[in-house]
Amino acid sequence: MCGIIGVTHHKDAAQIAYSGLYALQHRGEESAGIASYDNKDIHLVKSPGLVADAFDDRALKELKGSTAIGHCRYSTTGSSNYKNIQPFLVTHRGKHIAIAHNGNLTNTEALYKKLEDEGAIFQTSMDSEVIIHLLARAKNGSVEKWFLDVLSQLEGAFSLVFLYENMIIGARDPNGFRPLCLGKIDGSYILASESCALDLIGAEFIRELECGEVVFISGTEITSKFLPKTKETKHSHCVFENIYFARPDSDIFNDNVYQVRKRLGAQLAKEAPVDADFVMAIPDSGNYAAIGYAEELGVPFEVGIIRNHYIGRTFIQPTQFLRDLRVKIKLNPIRDVLKGKKIIVVEDSIVRGTTSRSRVESLRKAGAKEIHMRISCPPIKSPCFYGIDFPDEKELIASNKEVDEIAKFIKVDSLKYLSLEGMLSVMKESEGFCHACFTGKYPVKPPRNKSKYLLEGTK
């Protein structure tokens, strides 16, 4: 999962890309980068860490030109190291190409082996670099034909922005796993992972790219083409975007994330009510489902935990050590609110179970009498191969334990999940979502080599 943005034909392209990445920071906290083009050269600034750490005034001044793309990374293929920071930039036959990618390809290994047999030398361990090598070998005819020929070879999840000379190219895979929207500011087009990025920079939201759509933007002109689809291709929007990843003020998949989360909470209250003193959330992603749950049940909503907002998202940290440390720093219970109370704790999901166990322990220490946990999605039982770093089944607690066993492990008085049917019932397009992480039913065949480090060989 990553955040991507593209800006064309604007005198402040890099500054707009920077602001957009700030709004998309929740999609990736490991690194950030921007590439810009000034009609002669491409300029690239990238760094580990948050967007605010990667760019200062001096760096932004180096990013000259009226065209730019940006990326903030959450690693799902390849290690979290400098060589894997995007945008990834190459020069081929005197032409510059930069790429920013959100998602995961499922045919990476086959494409990589084919390219390596043909003499390709890889600099990174990202699936994104495979796309660049395909482009370097396939130039034939118009730019539109060139990119369509290459992108049609890709399988899996990809929302992409390319910088090619003074052109921005945006693409979304035929299944539409990841969001990508189109906006406009001062007559210039913007591509961004979520609409919240457009809001921050004051851009007009035009629409989401359609599944399989590829847009070619040069100056103020935009051309739209489509990748081929098979009879088996169907819309497969990632439902976990609405549950956890996307910002609540974003509109994705033709719906508002905040409203979806409230509806999830309300449906959860219908399915799994419990007698308690109040409802509280695990902030921040659980807040909106908790509001919906409390409203539907007619029980007060209280703030029982305070979040340290200087700490980023726990789930997307690359190691268990960092996740555990951030849980302790990030959230602090309010003893006077919790002492002697029966509480309903609404959480968006349980992945490994270790974070939930730690949070429940802190609520017990703060004096909570009873803790009833309610989860606004079904149990996560299967890995994701489309751009979320869910571990294999061995690390997913719901693939190894029944619900009552999970309740004992995290030490709650009761635990209930939202049903799959209930979750889908609140979506505007209930038939258009990927829910493989809950059901194991994958809309695109998973890769043979399921390792995140499949291109590194040593892990």
Domains contained in the chain, CATH given: 3-236 (3.60.20.10), 242-430 (3.40.50.2020)
Q: CA–CA separation, 349 vs 282, rounded Å?
A: 10
Cβ–Cβ under 8 Å, residues 385 and 442: yes
Cβ–Cβ under 8 Å, residues 168 and 162: yes
Tens digit of pLDDT at every position of the chain (459 positions): 799 999 999 999 999 999 999 999 999 999 999 999 999 999 999 999 999 999 999 999 999 999 999 999 988 776 778 899 999 999 887 889 999 999 999 999 999 999 999 998 999 989 999 999 999 888 778 999 999 999 999 999 999 999 998 899 999 999 999 999 999 999 999 999 999 999 999 999 999 999 999 999 998 999 999 999 988 899 999 999 999 999 999 999 999 999 999 999 999 999 999 999 999 999 988 999 999 999 999 999 999 999 887 765 555 555 656 656 666 677 899 999 999 999 999 999 999 999 999 999 999 999 999 999 999 999 999 999 999 987 688 899 999 999 999 999 999 999 999 999 999 999 987 789 999 999 999 999 999 887 877 788 644
Q: What pLDDT is recorded for position 328? A: 64
Q: What pLDDT is recorded for position 433? A: 97
Q: CA–CA separation, 19 vs 13, rounded Å?
A: 10
Q: CA–CA separation, 189 vs 170, rounded Å?
A: 11
Give the count of beta carbons closer than 10 Å to the beta carbon of residue 295: 15
Catalytic residue check, 2: yes
Q: CA–CA separation, 147 vs 250, rounded Å?
A: 29
Q: Which of 63, 48, 53 is nearest to 16 (CA)?
A: 63
Q: What pLDDT is recorded for position 311? A: 66
DSSP string, 60-129: HHHS-SSEEEEEEE--SSS-SSGGG-SSEEEEETTEEEEEEEES-BSSHHHHHHHHHHTT---SSS-HHH
362: helix, strand or coil = helix
What are residue 218's DSSP bridge partners?
167, 221
Q: Parallel, antiparallel, or unpaired: how do β-strands 3-7 and 159-164 relate?
A: unpaired
Q: What pLDDT is recorded for position 459? A: 41
Peptide linkage before 443 cis (omega within 30 of 0): no
Q: Which of 181, 351, 346 is nearest to 271 (CA)?
A: 346
Q: Which of 142, 148, 115 is nearest to 130 (CA)?
A: 115
Q: CA–CA separation, 211 vs 173, rounded Å?
A: 6
Q: CA–CA separation, 63 vs 14, rounded Å?
A: 6
Measured N-to-C along each axis, helices 143-151 and 127-138 cross at an angle, to the nearest 10 degrees, of 140
Q: Which of 2, 238, 434, 437 is catalytic?
A: 2
Phi-psi region of 205 (alpha: psi -120 to 50; beta: other; left: phi over 0): beta
Q: What pLDDT is recorded for position 139? A: 74
Instruction: Give Cβ neighbours of residue 49 (< 8 Å, ≥ 6 apart).
Output: 29, 30, 31, 32
Q: CA–CA separation, 203 vs 88, rounded Å?
A: 26
